Amino acid sequence: MAILIADSGATKCEWSLAETRKKSKTVFTQGISPYFLNTPQIEAIIRNELLPGLKNRAVDAVFYYGTGCANPDNAKLVKKAITNVFPGIEVQVTHDLFAAARALCGREKGIACILGTGSNSCYYNGQKIVKNSPGLGYVLGDEGSGAYLGKKVLQYYLYNTFDEELRFKFEAKYKGINSVEILENIYKKPFPNRYLATFTLFLAENRGHYMVENIVEDGLNDFFFNHLCKYGESWKLPIHFTGGVSWAFRDTVTDLCHSYEFELGQILKNPMEGLIKYHLDQ
């Protein structure tokens, strides 16, 4: 049986066609957010970006995990697009946090966290998500995420908080950048969360500078304090992480777990390997 598994964030979507005793086929498309895209637009992404990469290989079932799909209306919207492309087969659509829980915890209890373009967390009992700290999106929340850290980078730059060394490096990396361009991208152009998250790379490239370390540690600590500390289970069960931010700054994640006396579980760059194992082991 060929199972197509999708893990979609706001920035990119990873699709893997998995079969027992066969190497998985992986295709990347742009991220699919039902808050920004309608059914025809999602269907167009699947047809134009995914299908050419699959090269006519048969698909027997689709398990889609995506940002925004905790909302039932959004999940229906995405499911309709997938069903239009793959008619007559099983299609399940759920949210990206459930993907993280299954990939990180398998069928065991644990705390699963996403630190990518956005952030989220939950207590998972081995079968379902029992508790979820509320996600408020990149404007009000998303502590510890790429968008959250990127916003701090831009604040430091625009408020002229960076010292001379960091300001020089920032302007050398983002040649010609100015406040007009930044505000245009954030307040007028689509996908401002993705735009903000791109500036996290500046932090990763300048580790060791005290201002960079302060931004990273403070941003991740905001996630620990506002979310992980709200679960009583955080001191009883392993806490797992997935997403580009948790992977890039895994040293800081590890240090914070020790500071809060949490048991650190896995840190995965992305959940796909764990999802493939979960679905093929059923």
Percent of the chain at pLDDT exceeding 70 = 100
Could you tell me if 139 and 130 are in contact, meaning their C-beta atoms sit under 8 angstroms apart? no
Q: How confident is the model at residue 21 (pLDDT cuts 50, 70, 90)?
A: confident
Burial of 281 (0-12, 13-18, 19+ CB in 10 A): exposed
235 CB-near residues (< 8 Å, 6+ apart): 261, 262
What is the Cα–Cα distance from 18 to 95, expressed in whole angstroms?
20
User: What tokens appear for 100 in the block?
Assistant: 């993280």
What is the Cα–Cα distance from 45 to 54, expressed in whole angstroms?
13
The pTM for the full model equals 0.83
pLDDT of residue 282: 66
Q: How confident is the model at residue 241 (pLDDT cuts 50, 70, 90)?
A: very high
Arithmetic mean of pLDDT, 265-274: 91
Tell me the residue length of the chain: 282
- The answer, yes or no, to whether residue 186 has pLDDT greater than 80, is yes
pLDDT of residue 191: 83
Could you tell me if 122 and 132 are in contact, meaning their C-beta atoms sit under 8 angstroms apart? yes
Distances in Å between the alpha carbon of 196 and those of 29, 161, 190? 20, 18, 12
What is the Cα–Cα distance from 144 to 223, expressed in whole angstroms?
5
Q: How confident is the model at residue 134 (pLDDT cuts 50, 70, 90)?
A: confident
Taking all residues of the chain, what is their mean pLDDT, rounded to a whole number?
A: 92
- The answer, yes or no, to whether residue 149 has pLDDT greater than 80, is yes
Arithmetic mean of pLDDT, 38-46: 95
pLDDT of residue 22: 77
Q: How confident is the model at residue 23 (pLDDT cuts 50, 70, 90)?
A: confident
Q: Highest mean pLDDT range out of 51-55, 113-117, 177-181, 210-214? A: 210-214
Arithmetic mean of pLDDT, 14-39: 88
What is the Cα–Cα distance from 97 to 124, expressed in whole angstroms?
10
- The answer, yes or no, to whether residue 136 has pLDDT greater than 80, is no
In which region does residue 88 sit, left (phi positive, over 0), alpha (psi from -120 to 50) or beta (all else)?
Answer: left
pLDDT of residue 202: 97
Label the pairing between strands 119-124 and 110-115: antiparallel
Q: How confident is the model at residue 20 (pLDDT cuts 50, 70, 90)?
A: confident
Percent of the chain at pLDDT exceeding 90 = 76
- The answer, yes or no, to whether residue 137 has pLDDT greater than 80, is no
Identity of the amino acid at 218:
D
